[in-house]
Amino acid sequence: APMVLLGENAIKSMAPGRFFRDHKGAVNSLDFHHTEDVMVTVGDDDALHLYRTNTGALLKTLYSKKYGCSCVTFTHASQAVVYASKVKAAGPDLRKDHALRYHSLHDNTYLRYFVGHTGQVVNVSMSAKTDQFLSASVDKTIRLWDLRTNQCNGAVRCATTPAVAYDMQGLIFAAATADGEVKLYDSRGYDKGPFNTIQIGGVGGVVDPTTGKLPRVTCAKFSDDGNDLMCVAGGNVYIHSAFAPFAEVMRINVGSETGGSAGGKHFGQEGGGVDLDACWTPDGQYVLSGGADSRVHVWSVRSGRKVTTWQSRHAGIPSVVRWAPGSMMAA
């Protein structure tokens, strides 16, 4: 289907259509299916909810009481998801505590467990073309998996808590493996090492005054057309070209622009804040993000300016924002 370019007036006119109050605690992750009109949410209350997006109907509620749930992502099927654990207290086996689960929502069965991480998984990215997916953990590793086997296909060791993202073609993935940089890998030959490294915050890096370190990327996402890579570090959103020479094309200081401090003290778990989340619109022209004022903001990628602030306030800084594929809808 041809891509519809979103107009600024249409984005400015968007307003809440429905409030979902089914979770008894914070929603820590959500995902839209790429073709079906369904959305899945998971929360700190160990609940998973499946919704019909065109009606707002709650279709199903399931629970992961023992190990919790986070980082939910649809597989290619609209009734199957992969999600990470979120344990309240450590058990005797860290690998079991931090396993990923492949869950059939159709009949509420676990199809497979993926065991290997020894720390909280912070990021899961599913390939758009194959059954492969990636997970990133505070144990400073990225692991490669395939839905068809519970054996880990490979691991990338990192210098910091990483973030990871496939492009929409499933050909390459981006991995924030050290503070201040993102490495690009060929997904079919990742074991050969990265084919390029992008410096985040400028060549030589700019130290974050709140942490004294180079910016640590906590969220990385390719635009749908694969032309650009968005990286979030602290209170900043960095947009880089996904092609050589991988130049920074825009930087948005969400922290200072939304009423927070210039250093973004509201953002980044290291500084006691929350990790800022952002997402692309399907046409690659805009980025949505949470803000220090507890609202969702929309930014122009080309000019860097704020297009609009959606006025509905949230209970805290919106830590999960997603645009529904093929729809004038966001959550």
Q: What is the pTM of this model?
A: 0.92
Prior bond of 325 cis (ω within 30°):
no
Per-residue model confidence as pLDDT tens for the chain (331 residues):
445 678 899 999 988 888 888 999 889 999 999 999 999 999 999 999 999 999 999 999 999 999 999 999 999 999 999 999 999 888 889 999 999 999 999 999 999 999 999 999 999 999 999 999 999 999 999 999 999 999 999 999 999 999 999 999 999 999 999 999 999 999 999 999 999 999 998 766 667 766 778 888 999 999 999 999 999 988 889 999 998 889 999 999 887 787 754 444 455 555 445 678 899 999 999 999 988 888 999 999 999 999 999 887 787 778 889 999 888 889 8
Q: Up-side HSE of residue 124: CA atoms within 13 Å toward CB? A: 31
- What is the amino acid identity at position 281? T
Burial of 248 (0-12, 13-18, 19+ CB in 10 A): middle
Rounded distance, CA 219 to CA 275, Å? 8
**What is the CA 230 to chain-centroid distance, rounded?**
11
